[in-house]
Structure 1
Amino acid sequence: MTNAEAYDRGFAHLSSHTVGPLLAQAREKGALGLLDVGCGTGVVTAAALALGAEVTAVDADPGMLELTARRHPYATIRPATLPDLPFGDEQFDAIAGNFVINHVPDTTKALKEFHRVLRPGGTIALTWWKADEMTATNVFADAIIAAEVPYDPPPRPFTANDTPQRFTELLEKAGFEEAAVDTVRWRHQVDLATWWTNIVQAGGPRFAMIASQPPETVERIRAHYTRLAAPYAREGFPVCAYLAHATR
């Protein structure tokens, strides 16, 4: 299984819950040209195509792009590393970004770039995790710490902008109108053993270090994960995300 396939089975499944709300504004306005930023393995692209949109999908990861292109031949697939976009001004009716803005090093520049490529009246919708209510992934960090393994996750530049009030202000400063942020909560129901496998195989900046440990250390981390995740086996992990939406 490739990293992209593991991501698709794990994180993409987790994030798919917000796809409907993410596309709601674009669907209501009948947006034809939609830009899926940070498309990953294509969960937003698939839903937008099903709505009849002409989808352009971008991501920085070649493996993600290859998987999305193979699954969705009717979408236009382009490599792009945010905050920069390889498009001219006013090219899209809508932009959707599912859990990508929290990975962009310069939030302000990204929002200005999104504003640039949107047509007047176009819509934007972006989601990000509420970090302190992300039990589904925080349980891995807690397991690493409980196993007494040195753990130095990468810094989160987006933390300075991740409150609804702050992000609304940034959208308005970038030129957007009718900016608002909604809270979305759900339970992520998943087999705990499968969840472990998919997150560890997908790696990523926070948890790639698990698979690189000696086998006995991996098993020690897994034992703590199993213990910490057990209370959520039946009802699922509680998850919380923010969804920002605005109009150009």
Structure 2
Amino acid sequence: MTNAEAYDRGFAHLTSHTVGPLLASAGRNRAPRLLDVGCGTGVVTAAALALGAEVTAVDADPGMLELIARRHPYATIRLAALPELPFEDEQFDVIAGNFVINHVPDTPEALSELHRVLRPGGTIALTWWKADEMTATNVFAEAIAAAQVPYDPPVRPFASHDTPQRFTALMAGAGFREASVESVRWRHQADLAAWWTHVVRAGGPRFGVIGCQPPEVVERIRGHYLRLAAPYEREGFPVCAHLATATR
């Protein structure tokens, strides 16, 4: 199983919960030119194509793009990452970014670039996790700590922008109008053993450290994970995301 396939079986199911609200703005346009920025394995692209959009999907991971290209041959696929996009000014009617803005190295610069490629009157929708209500992944960090494994979490530049008030101010500074943020909460139901496997195999900056440990240490972390995750086995992990929308 590749990292992209593991991501698709795990994180992609988690992120799919916000696709409907994210694409609600696309319903105001007939067959819009839509940019799926940070497309991953294509949960937004698939839904946007079903709505009749003309989709361009962008990601920095070639493995993700290979998977999405096989599944969605009618989408335009490009290898790129914020804050530099290979598009002309004012090229898209709608921009959708599902859990990508929280990973960019420079949030104001990324928003300025998204503003550049969006046409006047176009809409943008972006999601990011509410960090203290992200039980589905926080249990992994807690398990690493409980196993007493030395671990320095990656620096999160987005942390200084992740409240609704701060983010809407950033969007206004980038030139967007009518910016607003709402919270979306749900329960992520997953088989605990499968969720462990998919998150660990997907790797990434936060939890790739688990797979790098000796087997006995991995098992120790896994034991703590199963203990910490057990209370959520029946009803699912409570999670929360913020959804920002604006127009140009």
TM range (shorter): over 0.9
Are 1:14 and 1:188, in contact at CA under 8 Å, matched by a contact in 2?
Answer: yes
2:119 aligned with 1:119 = yes
SS of aligned partner of 1:213: coil
SS of aligned partner of 2:127: strand
**Aligned residue runs from structure 1 range 1-248, under 5 A:** 1-30=1-30, 32-248=32-248
Aligned identity (percent) is 81
Shift of 1:31: 5.3
Q: Which amino acid aligns with 2:190?
A: V
In structure 2, distance between residues paired with 1:166 and 1:153: 23
Q: Which amino acid aligns with 2:130?
A: K
What stretches of structure 1 of length at least 5 have no aligned partner?
none
Are 1:135 and 1:237, in contact at CA under 8 Å, matched by a contact in 2?
Answer: yes
SS of aligned partner of 1:235: coil
Q: 1:213-242, CA deviations, whole angstroms, 9 ceiling, x for partnerless residues?
A: 111100000000000000000000000000
In structure 2, distance between residues paired with 1:186 and 1:67: 27
What stretches of structure 2 of length at least 5 have no aligned partner?
none
Shift of 1:30: 3.3
In structure 2, distance between residues paired with 1:32 and 1:218: 46
Q: 1:131-174, CA deviations, whole angstroms, 9 ceiling, x for partnerless residues?
A: 11100000000000000110111100000000000000011111
Q: Which amino acid aligns with 1:107?
A: T
Q: Which amino acid aligns with 2:42?
A: G
> Taking structure 1 as the reference length, what is the TM-score of the superposition?
0.99
Q: 1:118-143, CA deviations, whole angstroms, 9 ceiling, x for partnerless residues?
A: 11110000000001110000000000
Shift of 1:27: 1.4
Are 1:31 and 1:94, in contact at CA under 8 Å, matched by a contact in 2?
Answer: no
In structure 2, distance between residues paired with 1:114 and 1:209: 32
Are 1:31 and 1:93, in contact at CA under 8 Å, matched by a contact in 2?
Answer: no
Q: 1:22-67, CA deviations, whole angstroms, 9 ceiling, x for partnerless residues?
A: 0001113335100000000000000000000000000000000110
Shift of 1:81: 1.5
In structure 1, distance between residues paired with 2:20 and 2:216: 42
In structure 2, distance between residues paired with 1:4 and 1:79: 15
* Regions of 4+ moved over 6 Å: none
In structure 1, distance between residues paired with 2:238 and 2:216: 30
Q: Relative to structure 2, which stretch is displaced further, 197-206 or 24-33?
A: 24-33
| Alignment root-mean-square deviation, CA | 0.7
Q: Which amino acid aligns with 1:221?
A: I
Q: Which amino acid aligns with 2:102?
A: N
Q: Which amino acid aligns with 1:246?
A: A
Q: Which amino acid aligns with 1:174?
A: A
> Taking structure 2 as the reference length, what is the TM-score of the superposition?
0.99
In structure 2, distance between residues paired with 1:166 and 1:47: 29
Q: Which amino acid aligns with 1:132?
A: D
In structure 2, distance between residues paired with 1:206 and 1:99: 15
Alignment coverage as a number of residue pairs: 248
Shift of 1:212: 1.0
